Structure formats: structure tokens, C-alpha cells
Amino acid sequence: MPMTHLSSLRALNRARVSVRLLPTKTGHLNLVSQTSLRTTRPWIVTVTLHPHHVRPQSTSNKPQDSSGKPNIKHAPLPTPWQLLRRSLSFRGILSSLTPSGIKKLYRQSPLELVSALAILAGLVAISAYIVNVCVNYFFAPQFTRYPPVIAKSLRRALYYTNMQPEPQLARKWYKKALEQCDELGLDPFSDEVLGIRIQTAAWLEKIGNYQGAITILESVSKDCTKWISTMEEAMADGTVHKSGKVPPVKKDNDDDQDDDESVPENLWRKRNRLLAKAVGTNTKLGELYADDHVNDSDNAQARLTWAVETALSEARRRSTEGVKPEEGSWLSPEEFGGAMESLAKHYESKSQFHLAVPLYFQALRLCQSPCHRSTIMNNLAASFAQHPVLGSSEPIPHAPAIANAINASGMPTTREGFLEAAWNWARNAKNHAKDVESSERTPECDEACAVALSNMGDIAAMQGKVAEARRRFQQCIELSRKIDFGQGIKQAEAGLRNLQATSDA
């Protein structure tokens, strides 16, 4: 017993003191008995001990069960979900991220720990994605290049276009953005303003309003070509300098400092930009007119032909006259080849395969995508397989200037020659799609390989090679199922049915 508590007994004179502790439910009762020199009556003193002076009770004093073993009550273990909630709490995360905390959690409940870590990783990934989307949405170049009020309208328009489709509200904010461009004096021929108009047309196409999209794109094409015609006339009559330079425009500074000079865009550069925009717009118009929802073949051919011939004409002008000062580069190979491929597909849809072949050749030469090259090769194979045999005196229908490749040396002149060329192009498409490196490989490669097998089956059937045709169709079905390419399965099964019908006839 500590001396601090025994000191309270020092007032007892000439007493023999013995102290022992008896356990109770509420603490310890200090039973003190004394025998003085004058009396033998015992007395009791209760002393309350400080908690840190109390010795822990041994197990021998604890209640025992019938077998004599100590009856120890343990605190109930937490349930797995309680552990999961604790580990996902802020305090639990901080303590669990330490090595000892992870080990402890793993010992207590390894499955729940792995689940908690997986959920935590998922939350982090989702948060990072949301932050990235917000940053790209509010601070993307497509918005920051506009004045704030216009950018705000465009964000709302795109929100009601992509996030929560509402046609009426989207139309309202696209229209509002264009009105604000006019109010703030933005150049109607700038990429920013033309971009809003083209985006509006894309939105109309997305909601199925093809005629509305055509109307807007027609107005864009008309405005661009009209500006180019006016500029060329001004160049011819000397109204503007042939260099295309425009005098600087002075604008007042709000800080009462020296006036700043704004340098307008060079006219040749602006012409080049608007002409490229007109070519792209007409290419898109041709595709819209050819769509099954519109089905206007004549307008489709007119727009696509204009786009290809204008692109070729401008390329020849540059080759003859040279590039004008500050004019910039002309169409990229992808843009040039895309216009030719669109026109080739149109001719193919009209069964004018002899006009499609030379355009596919040029599109293949300009194509930069390895997988898309295989697609063009398949188109060449299909066109050669259905190519008509033209007589030497038969006039060639009108086509763009590129169609003079029809009479190029090396072109087949017999039906057997066309089928042989078709087989070679289908085989090239399959081999090329198969050999594309993984770093450049896209799903288009696998689909092109399946289409090539189906084309080889069709060509073999045309050549009377039934067994070869059946083998190629089966290979196409197997590959198409492996890559989940429904169109390939459908095309090959149709080929097999045709083979069976021919055999039964």
C-alpha cells in the first residue's frame, strides 16, 4: 500500500495497524484493523485509492464457470461492414494507410480490406475523371477563344446537345451564340463563327433533322464561295493589292494610351481558308444528300464532284502560279483523299464502278491510316469484281479529271482480268490488315480482314471455284464471331446461301 495513503493513519497513537484490500463491485474496500494498547475493539477505515495505484486484478479472482475455468467476457468483434465503414472514414483512411494499419486490417478481415481498397481506387479514378471533364469542358480551346458571353451560350448549347438532350433549348442557345457574335462584331467568316454554324448543322443531323443540316451547310458553302468570288474580282480590277495585304485598322485603347493597330488577315490566306472550308462543306453535303433519309442522288453527285474538282483545280493553280504570300498550305492528304473516297463511294452506289476505281486508287495513295488502307483495298476489290467491260469506242461518262486513269496502261480489259485484279486486291487487303503493327492497329484492321475474306469468297464464286468460296466464307464467319463483327457474319452467310442456291439450281 502506498505511503501517501498510510499517512492518514499516523494520528493513531501506539496502534498496531494491518491493512488488506478486499475486492468489491465498485472498487476496493480497505479494511484496516487495529489493536491499541488500551482496547481490543477493532475498527474499519475506508481509503480510496487513485486508479494508477490499484494493481490489476489477477485472473484467479475472476468468476469461474462450472469447470473451474475463468469466465472471461470479450468485447464483440466488429462486423465486416463496420470494418469497411471504419476503413472508409477519413480518420480510418489516415490510420489504415500506415504499414501497421494495413497489416492489422488484413489480419482482421482480408476480404473487406481488398474491397475497401478497390472502392477507394474507384472513387479516386471517378474523381479524377470528373475533374478532367470539367477542366476540358470549361477551359477547352473551343470555348476560351470566344468572348465570355458567347462561350457561356456555347457551353449551354453543348450541354443540351450532349449531356441532357433538349432540342428546343439547344436550338435556343446556338441561335443566341450566333446573335452575340453579330452584336460583338466578330468576323462572320472567322473560324469561330463558321464553327458555330457547322456545329449547329452537326447537331441537327444528330437529332435526325437532315434537311435543317443541309440548309445550314448550303448557306455556309454559298457565303464562302461568294466571298472568294468577290475577292478574286477585286484582285482583277485592282481594287485591292495583289499581295493580299490589308491596311492595319486602328482601335482605341481604354487606358488613353497610344492607339493599337490590329493587323487584318491577309486576303490570300483568308481565301485559302474559306476555300478549304467550302470543299469540306460540300463533301459533307454530298454525304447528306446521298443518305437514305434524303436520297437525292443528283445533288449528292453535284456537291461531291464540285469538291473534288475544286481541290484539284486549286492544287494545279498552286503548281502553276506558286504559293501566294502568307497563303498557307492547301488540303492535307487525309482531306484530299477523303473527298475522293466520298465521290468514289457515290459512283459505286450507282454501279458506276469504272468511275469509282481511279478515285479509290488516288484515295489509297493519299491515305495515311494503315488500317483504312485495307478498307480502301477492299473497295477496290469490290469495284474490280463488278467492273464493266467497256468497248474501245464506247464513250466514257463525265467524271472528274482524275478519272483519266481509266485508260491508264495496265488496267484489265476482259472479265477474267477484272476478277483476277479483284482477287489480288482482296488478298492484299487481308494481308495488309493482318500485318499492321499493334501500335497502329485499330478495330478497323480486324473488320477489314473479315471483309476481305468475304470478298474473296464472292470473287471465287464468280470464278466458279465453289470449294474455295465456301472455305473463305467459313473463315470470314469464324473471324467475325471472334471480333463480334455482325456485318461480316451477315455478309458471309448470305454468300453461303447463294452458293447453295447455285448448287441446287
Q: What is the pLDDT of residues 42-65, one digit of tens each?
A: 555 555 555 555 555 555 555 555
C-alpha to C-alpha distance for 31 and 44, rounded to whole angstroms? 6
Q: What is the pLDDT of residue 80?
A: 58
Q: Report helix angle 415-435 to 443-462, nearest 10.
A: 160
Residue 15 identity (one-letter amino acid) = A
Asked if 221 and 278 touch (Cβ cutoff 8 Å), the reply is yes
Q: What is the pLDDT of residue 7?
A: 46
Q: What is the pLDDT of residue 478?
A: 96
pLDDT digits (tens, 9 = 90+) for 442-501: 999 999 999 999 999 999 999 999 999 999 999 999 999 999 999 999 999 999 999 988
pLDDT category at 367 given cuts 50, 70, 90 is very high
Q: Is pLDDT of 393 > 70?
A: no
Q: Give the phi and the psi of residue 145 in degrees, each rounded to 5.
A: -80, -5
pLDDT category at 171 given cuts 50, 70, 90 is very high
Q: Which of 156-160, 404-408, 417-421 has the lowest mean pLDDT?
A: 404-408
Which DSSP state fits 64?
B
Long-range own/partner contacts, residues 171-180 (CB < 8 A, 24 or more apart)? 174/199, 174/200, 174/203, 177/150, 177/153, 180/147, 180/149, 180/150, 180/153
Judge residue 117's burial from the number of C-beta atoms within 10 Å of its C-beta, 0-12 exposed, 13-18 middle, 19 or more buried: middle
C-alpha to C-alpha distance for 112 and 269, rounded to whole angstroms? 64
Compute the residue count for the chain: 505
Q: Which of 48-57, 269-278, 310-319, 490-499 has the lowest mean pLDDT?
A: 48-57
Q: Is pLDDT of 400 > 80?
A: no
C-alpha to C-alpha distance for 291 and 208, rounded to whole angstroms? 11
C-alpha to C-alpha distance for 358 and 423, rounded to whole angstroms? 17
C-alpha to C-alpha distance for 34 and 42, rounded to whole angstroms? 6
Residue 42 identity (one-letter amino acid) = P
Q: Rounded to two decimals, what is the model's pTM?
A: 0.70
C-alpha to C-alpha distance for 241 and 12, rounded to whole angstroms? 125
Q: Which of 8-17, 168-177, 475-484 has the lowest mean pLDDT?
A: 8-17
Q: What is the pLDDT of residue 281?
A: 97
What integer is the mean pLDDT of 11-27? 49
Asked if 363 and 375 touch (Cβ cutoff 8 Å), the reply is no
Q: If we measure between CA atoms, which residue out of 372, 236, 213, 229 comes closest to residue 294?
A: 213
Q: If we measure between CA atoms, which residue out of 393, 375, 335, 382 comes closest to residue 357?
A: 382
Q: Per the structure block, which three cell numbers stand in for 224?
A: 464562302
Q: Report helix angle 466-483 to 443-462, nearest 10.
A: 160
Q: Which residues of 479-505 are buried (b: 16+ CB within 10 A; e: fewer)?
A: bbeeeebeebbebbeebbeebeeeeee
pLDDT category at 94 given cuts 50, 70, 90 is low
Q: Give the phi and the psi of residue 28 in degrees, each rounded to 5.
A: -125, 130
Q: What is the pLDDT of residue 46?
A: 53
Q: Is pLDDT of 164 > 60?
A: yes
Asked if 460 and 472 touch (Cβ cutoff 8 Å), the reply is yes
Q: If we measure between CA atoms, which residue out of 277, 103, 299, 261 comes closest to residue 188?
A: 277
Cα atoms in the Cβ-side hemisphere of radius 13 Å centred on 447: 13
Number of Cβ within a 10 Å radius of residue 305: 19
Q: Per the structure block, which three cell numbers stand in for 304?
A: 461531291
pLDDT category at 146 given cuts 50, 70, 90 is confident
The CA dihedral of 189, 195, 196, 199, to the nearest 10 degrees, is 140
What integer is the mean pLDDT of 164-193? 94
